């Protein structure tokens, strides 16, 4: 008899999304078994994504958002396929969910696991350990703009892409970053902008940062421009604890973080509603990787780590820690996929984590 059953919506999506999501479910099922009936999962899978679009003309069913609303959380792989324009697959699912449910915080931890070599010469588990908090509801991905295709003639098209910054939007993401920093030993927040060149939205962000940091006098804080931040992540990774950035900058810097942590195939994320009004959505940072899809060689760690973040969000911290310890044991054992220098298949790498769960009491 299971005491608590979490209802999980699963959207594997396209490409390697379909290969890595089952590995995460395998691991979730095992920690549920190991909980001895304290909790379990019921999954409902949805076929949405680019392939669904090619068959049906829609990336996600009409009313899909309402269907998802009743779940406790969403586990997502990735959408995108070369025969469908990327903005169609992205705006058709991920952005519909993040905006529709106001999942305003994209939380993307960066860590170097034992056994994995960072491309940074001096990278160690001690120097590479930060959390990227990416604004996820407005900014550069507001979707405001337009393209004039018709009247001006060939070579004279114009396009406007507007970024939207609101004081409410900036304050809530910055406050959430400080709240996360308060739970970490280093207790430091770095704000990333480009206020020298983007003088309206980004200076509003800076003003909000100044107000919120005053609410948290016990937390250290600094500010850096995004270009300098990219260099600092490479040269001084140890100088970061929690990094808060706009939608675009957080997107770019989290791929850099993933690479610094050894591979994009490791980088995990949660699209979180800190106010818990709607289900949060957990997904690897990477996309559908058509270049390696169908070969069974994708790294499942990013998705398994994302599933651990989901457990943490659901209040199952002990089980989340069990998974994190198992990931680290598996990476230390060398049973890893090609992107990390190993030769394991996706399923082998998932099995190594399952194996490492045994006898691991978190």
Q: The tokens of 71 are what?
A: 């779940």
Contacts of 43 (CB under 8 A, 6+ apart): 8, 9, 10, 25
Q: Which is nearer to ligand NAI, 181 or 344 (CB)?
A: 344
Strand-pair category, 242-245 with 188-193 = parallel
Q: The tokens of 335 are what?
A: 């049973």
Q: Which of 265, 279, 342, 350 binds ligand NAI (CB under 6 A)?
A: 265
Closest approach of Mg ion to the CB of residue 250, in Å = 9
Closest approach of ligand NAI to the CB of residue 209, in Å = 27
User: Does residue 287 touch ligand NAI according to CB under 6 A?
Assistant: yes
Q: Which is nearer to ligand NAI, 138 or 339 (CB)?
A: 339
- Alpha helices by DSSP H, listed for the chain, are 17-34, 50-56, 64-69, 86-89, 95-100, 167-182, 201-215, 226-235, 247-260, 301-314, 317-333, 346-357
Partner whose binding site includes residue 292, from ligand NAI, Mg ion, none (CB under 5 to 8 Å by kind): ligand NAI
Residue 120 · residue 128 · CB < 8 Å: yes
Q: Which of 288, 306, 322, 331 binds ligand NAI (CB under 6 A)?
A: 288
Closest approach of Mg ion to the CB of residue 29, in Å = 28
- CB-based burial label for 186 (10 Å; 0-12, 13-18, 19+): middle
Q: Which of 163, 208, 264, 310 binds ligand NAI (CB under 6 A)?
A: 264
Q: Which of 302, 314, 323, 330 binds ligand NAI (CB under 6 A)?
A: 302
Query: How big is the chain, counted in residues?
Result: 362
Site track 65-84 with ligand NAI (rule: CB under 6 A), x = hit: -------------xxx----
Angle at 242 between CA 237 and CA 243, to 5 degrees: 80
Closest approach of ligand NAI to the CB of residue 245, in Å = 17
Residue 25 · residue 9 · CB < 8 Å: no
DSSP for 56-114, written as a single string: HS-SS-TTHHHHHHTSSEEEEEE---TTS-HHHHIIIIIHHHHHHTT--EEEEEEE--T
Partner whose binding site includes residue 251, from ligand NAI, Mg ion, none (CB under 5 to 8 Å by kind): Mg ion
Q: Which residue has the tokens 């056994």?
A: 115
Residues within window 159-188 making contact with Mg ion, judged by CB under 5 A:
none
Facing residues of 274 across strands? none
User: Does residue 86 touch ligand NAI according to CB under 6 A?
Assistant: yes
Facing residues of 189 across strands? 221, 242
User: Does residue 335 touch ligand NAI according to CB under 6 A?
Assistant: no
User: Does residue 140 touch Mg ion according to CB under 5 A?
Assistant: no
Q: Which stretch binds ligand NAI (CB under 6 A): 148-156, 183-191, 204-212, 297-305?
A: 297-305
Could you report how far apart the first and last alpha carbons of the chain are, in Å?
23
Q: Which of 138, 241, 251, 316 binds Mg ion (CB under 5 A)?
A: 251
Partner whose binding site includes residue 98, from ligand NAI, Mg ion, none (CB under 5 to 8 Å by kind): none
Partner whose binding site includes residue 322, from ligand NAI, Mg ion, none (CB under 5 to 8 Å by kind): none
- CB-based burial label for 275 (10 Å; 0-12, 13-18, 19+): exposed
Closest approach of Mg ion to the CB of residue 306, in Å = 14
Residues within window 7-26 making contact with ligand NAI, judged by CB under 6 A:
16, 20
Residue ranges in contact with ligand NAI by CB under 6 A? 16, 20, 78-80, 86, 90, 94, 264-265, 283, 286-292, 298-299, 302, 337, 339
């Amino acid at each position: 008899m299971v005491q608590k059953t979490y209802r999980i919506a699963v959207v594997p999506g396209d490409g390697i999304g379909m290969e890595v999501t089952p590995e995460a479910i395998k691991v979730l099922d095992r920690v549920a078994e190991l909980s001895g009936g304290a909790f379990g999962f019921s999954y409902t899978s949805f076929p949405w994504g680019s392939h669904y679009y090619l068959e049906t003309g829609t990336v996600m069913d009409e009313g899909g958002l309402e269907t998802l609303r009743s779940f406790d959380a969403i586990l997502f792989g990735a959408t995108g396929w070369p025969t469908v324009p990327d903005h169609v697959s992205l705006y058709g699912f991920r952005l519909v969910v993040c905006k529709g449910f106001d999942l305003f915080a994209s939380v993307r931890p960066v860590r170097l696991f034992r056994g994995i070599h960072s491309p940074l010469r001096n990278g160690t588990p001690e120097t590479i350990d930060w959390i990227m908090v990416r604004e996820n509801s407005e900014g550069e991905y507001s979707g405001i703009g337009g393209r004039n295709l018709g009247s001006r003639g060939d070579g004279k098209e114009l396009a406007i892409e507007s970024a939207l910054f609101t004081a409410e939007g900036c304050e809530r993401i910055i406050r959430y970053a400080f709240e996360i920093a308060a739970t970490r030993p280093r207790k430091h927040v770095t704000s990333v902008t480009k206020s020298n060149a983007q003088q309206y939205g980004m200076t509003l962000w800076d003003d909000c940062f100044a107000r919120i940091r005053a609410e948290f006098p016990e937390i250290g804080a600094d500010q850096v421009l995004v270009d300098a931040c990219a260099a600092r992540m490479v040269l001084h990774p140890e100088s970061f604890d929690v990094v808060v950035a706009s939608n675009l900058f957080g997107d770019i810097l989290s791929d850099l973080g993933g690479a610094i942590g050894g591979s994009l195939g490791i980088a995990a994320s949660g699209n979180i509603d800190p106010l818990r009004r709607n289900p949060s959505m957990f997904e690897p940072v990477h996309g559908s990787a058509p270049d390696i899809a169908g070969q069974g060689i994708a790294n499942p760690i990013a998705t398994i780590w994302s599933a651990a973040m989901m457990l943490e969000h659901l209040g199952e911290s002990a089980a989340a820690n069990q998974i994190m310890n198992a990931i680290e044991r598996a990476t230390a054992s060398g049973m890893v996929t090609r992107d990390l220098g190993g030769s394991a298949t996706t399923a082998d790498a998932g099995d190594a984590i399952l194996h490492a769960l045994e006898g691991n009491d978190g």
